[in-house]
Amino acid sequence: MAEYSRLAQGSFISTGQAKVIQIPFKPEYIEMVNYTATFEAPTSQAVVSAKWFAAMGQGFAVEQVYDATPDLVVDAVIANGFSTFSAGQLLQYGPTLVVTVVSKAAAAAVTTSTAHGLSSGDVVIFQGLFETSTTGMPQINGIPFTVTVTGATTFTIPWNTNQSNYTAISVATTGAPTVKKVLYPYLYFPGQTFISNITLGTTTTIDTTDAHNFVVGQEVAFRIPSQWGTVQLNSLPNTLVPGSPVYGYVIAVTDYNTVVVNIDSSAYTTFNSNQTVASVPGLSYPQIVAVGDVNTGGVQISSGSQLYPPPYYVPIGTTRVNTINGPAIQGAYVNNTAQGFIIGIGTGVNQTSSVLVGTEGDVIHWRAQLNDLLLP
């Protein structure tokens, strides 16, 4: 039977970290080939190929792998192998990690008590950032941050904690501060994003805590509580036309978390992220929000492009990630409910150094399948 079966295939260059593959279905069969390990130079503990069937359960795989000789043998992965996912309408989180250090720096450095397993571009949320009952960094609890990974237990976040009202986390006497990965942070985009800094001038530069996913021409509004300073950016009230909101337009996208809008803020109040610990109960955060109906007129079809290119988001750097959506007009919010599978960093039962997703630089080819009929 093949009436309703779905097939997808692709390739990527491994970073040595778990790889999330978004496709328009949850597969029941997955297979992969490590082209580098297979055809270039057999290496001890290199995974050549692997397969997964839904009946195996999440996190499993069977694989062909080179042993220490190296001879080609078979093995099984029983944790962090292949797994499938379907992101719902609410945020989902990874495991809770204990935070041991948060530094005072222009881009705060964070250390976890165990390996965090994050990749640059992942989004995290903190809780309990108290050094004592009255000091620490609880001002940034609950804010989504895009991380830049600097080591197995370290990463940085785009927030200036090198200010007088922030105390470095090093002891945490009031309880263990924690951090969690947001598994699918861009269920809707560009949506709304927290602001970390505002540079005033004839145009206004906005820095955000995670990927804003705005485009040039995007219409935006601001929600800035009074304690953060630059309330003149707020869309209401409009002193010229009461009840009519004032919006700005993105005129430049500097990077994944910086945009320039066309508002002259030269005479506005300076932005203040140096909030006090005492102000944390009930503290609301400044946001930049997408508004309007259309920002780009849809994804263009041009020579060499897909016939119906899906909308995409840019989580960090210049990396573009396609959604699972079909042709669409990109408006203020694109629905990005995600499905697909993950190739993990699990190792074999016998070949315990054989990482399923390969090592950095390996070329991985994959194929995924959803069948018409799944029998016991």
Q: 172 and 190 in one domain?
A: no
Over pLDDT 70: what percentage of the chain?
A: 90
* Mean pLDDT within 38-42: 70
Residue 225 and residue 265 in contact, taking contact as beta carbons nearer than 8 Å: no
* Mean pLDDT within 68-94: 89
1 in a structural domain: no
Identify the three-state secondary structure at position 37.
helix
28 in a structural domain: yes
Q: 26 and 124 in one domain?
A: no
pLDDT at site 313: 82
Cβ atoms within 10 A of the Cβ of 182, count? 19
Over pLDDT 90: what percentage of the chain?
A: 61
Domain final position from 156, 182, 208: 182
- Vertex 205 angle, CA 201 and 211, to 5°: 175
Among the residue ranges 5-14, 103-112, 171-180, 289-298, the one predicted with the least confidence is: 289-298
Buried/exposed 185-223: b ≥16 CB within 10 Å, e otherwise: bbbebbbbbbbbbbebeebbbbbbbbbbbbeeebbbbbb
CA–CA distance, 264 with 372 (Å, rounded to integer): 58
Query: Reduced to 3 DSSP states, what percent helix, strand and coil does the chain have, rounded to the nearest 5?
Result: 5, 35, 60
Enter the tokens of residue 92: 């989902």
Higher per-residue pLDDT: 310 or 28: 28
154 in a structural domain: yes
Q: 343 and 328 in one domain?
A: no
Higher per-residue pLDDT: 309 or 219: 219
* Mean pLDDT within 35-64: 89
pLDDT at site 219: 87
Q: 323 and 192 in one domain?
A: yes
Helices (H), the chain: 35-39
Residue 185 and residue 237 in contact, taking contact as beta carbons nearer than 8 Å: no
92 in a structural domain: no
* Mean pLDDT within 113-121: 89
37 in a structural domain: yes
Q: 139 and 241 in one domain?
A: no
Enter the tokens of residue 104: 């005072």
Sequence-distant (≥ 6) Cβ neighbours of residue 137 within 8 angstroms: 102, 108, 126, 129, 131, 161, 166, 167, 169
Q: 192 and 325 in one domain?
A: yes
User: What is the chain's Cα-based Rg?
Assistant: 23
pLDDT at site 183: 87
Sequence-distant (≥ 6) Cβ neighbours of residue 187 within 8 angstroms: 87, 89, 91, 335, 336, 337, 338
**Which CATH number fits the domain that encloses residue 262?**
2.40.30.180
Burial of 88 (0-12, 13-18, 19+ CB in 10 A): exposed
Render pLDDT for 196-208 as a digit per residue (tens, 0 to 9).
999 999 999 999 9
Cβ atoms within 10 A of the Cβ of 302, count? 8
CA–CA distance, 70 with 49 (Å, rounded to integer): 15
Higher per-residue pLDDT: 117 or 194: 194
pLDDT at site 32: 97
Is 80 exceeded by the pLDDT of residue 266? yes
Among the residue ranges 133-147, 314-328, 358-372, the one predicted with the least confidence is: 314-328
Render pLDDT for 128-180 as a digit per residue (tens, 0 to 9).
999 888 999 999 999 999 999 999 999 999 999 999 999 999 865 556 899 99
Q: 246 and 120 in one domain?
A: no
375 in a structural domain: no
146 in a structural domain: yes
108 in a structural domain: yes
> Which residues form the domain of 120?
97-182
Most confident of 57-71, 234-248, 307-321: 57-71
Domain final position from 182, 210, 228: 182
Helices (H), 18-160: 35-39
Q: 358 and 320 in one domain?
A: no
- Vertex 250 angle, CA 200 and 231, to 5°: 40
Q: 304 and 225 in one domain?
A: yes
Domain final position from 159, 182, 205: 182
CA–CA distance, 50 with 358 (Å, rounded to integer): 11
pLDDT at site 1: 45
Among the residue ranges 18-27, 110-119, 315-324, the one predicted with the least confidence is: 315-324
* Mean pLDDT within 240-245: 78
pLDDT at site 106: 95
Q: What is the CB-side half-sphere exposure of residue 96 using CA atoms within 13 A?
A: 6
Q: 318 and 293 in one domain?
A: yes
pLDDT-derived band at 328, boundaries 50, 70, 90: low
pLDDT at site 225: 95
Q: 286 and 199 in one domain?
A: yes
Is 60 exceeded by the pLDDT of residue 293? no
CA–CA distance, 230 with 348 (Å, rounded to integer): 55
Q: 142 and 108 in one domain?
A: yes
Give the chain's domain count. 3
pLDDT at site 311: 78
